[in-house]
Amino acid sequence: MESIVSHEDWQTCFAQLGPALLLFARRWTNSQADAEDVVQEAFVRFWRREHSIKNRGLLYAAVRSAALDRLRREGRRVRREAAASVGSSDHCEPVFTTEDEGQQLLAAAVERLPNEQKEVVVLKIWNELTFAEIADVLEISQNTAASRYRYALNALKKILQPHE
Amino acid sequence: MNDFSELEAELTKLRPAPVSDDLARRIERAFAARDETPTAGVLPRPQRRANGWWSFALGLTGVAALLVIGLAFFDQTPVLERAVASAKAIPAQTAGFQPAGLTQVVYSGHDEGLVYPSDDSGAPRRRLRYETRQIVRWQNAQTGASVRVSYPVEQVVLTPVSFQ
């Protein structure tokens, strides 16, 4: 297994994974700034333990853990705001860069997915984790992860159908 | 090919929002502070000592020793009363401190039987050996400070024996 401990290596890794990590962290945070705080805490914690870059599941688990810790620390008010923001992109900064109207519709459709489906899609599509890795990160079974992914894609097709 | 391959391809083209330069700088600063803090705001979990039983055993030994000393002390109570009654003179005043008390605790006494000293009388005597601890206390009347000195004393008493 490859162990990355040097300064350059963490920069390379972060350049590759940073945007997708932020997208994942946005599942539990109310803003891009909060998501960045979560990713910073989790990434630094992960790297200081000098985990292998190939063991990305642990990195995503660290992000999820940091995000949930943050929610617990900030109490009920923040949780309520985060819950209100999840599933509704009206008050959130854009989480995707879009090039045309088709991509804008697709990004909006992703944001409309239920949170539990959206996090599986985020891990699968933009973080390229396997269902086994997703199951580990989210502490669910592989079957559940695969089912949520399938439900999410079905939902996206339905959302997008009138526009196709 | 599954039914969702087209949709998955479209999703893959969608790019997450990029990471701000500020986040990368913050992470770099966090790594630079590595020597100052062991983790990113999370204290390291203290390692459990494998020899934790030693502390317990030492504590138990201490309690047992105190019990033995305590029992020996109570067994010698009559001797204690005699010994305290024969307390020595209190030492003279020293550097503003005045003698405030003298306590003599006898914690062991042995009757070593008859002995025949080589003096002129030639009469037999009973030899008694006492192990005691003397505690002398001085006090400064002006400052209220006190000094307490404790030291062990071994006394040998020869008592004349009369045969009738």
Kindly report the nearest CA distance between residue A47 and chain B, in angstroms. 9
Predicted confidence pLDDT, tens digits, chain B (164 residues): 467 888 898 898 888 888 888 888 888 888 777 655 554 444 444 444 445 566 667 777 777 777 777 666 555 544 444 445 455 555 555 668 888 888 888 878 888 888 777 766 667 788 888 888 888 888 888 888 888 888 898 888 888 877 65
How close does chain B come to A19, measured CA to CA in Å? 5
Q: Search chain B and give the residue with CA nearest A107.
A: B14
Q: pTM of the entire structure?
A: 0.51
Q: Does B25 touch chain A (CB under 8 A)?
A: no
Enumerate the residues of chain B whose CB falls inside 8 A of the CB of residue A157.
Answer: 4, 7
Detail the DSSP E strand segments found in chain A.
96-97
* Contact status of B43 with chain A (Cβ, < 8 Å): no
CA–CA–CA angle A65, A68, A70 (5° rounding): 110
For B5, phi and psi rounded to 5 degrees? -60, -40
Q: Which of B4, B19, B40 has its CB closest to that of A44?
A: B40
- Quickly count: other Cβ atoms within 10 Å of residue B38's Cβ: 10
Looking from the CA of A120 toward its CB, the CA atoms found within 13 Å total 22
Query: Taking the CB of residue B70, how many other CB atoms lie within 10 A of it?
Result: 11
Tell me the chain A residues in contact with residue B22 when contact means C-beta distances shorter than 8 Å.
36
Q: What ipTM score was computed for the predicted complex, to two decimals?
A: 0.75
The residues, ordered by sequence, that sit 6+ positions from A115 with a Cβ below 8 Å of its Cβ are: A27, A86, A87
Question: How is residue A123 annotated by DSSP?
Answer: I
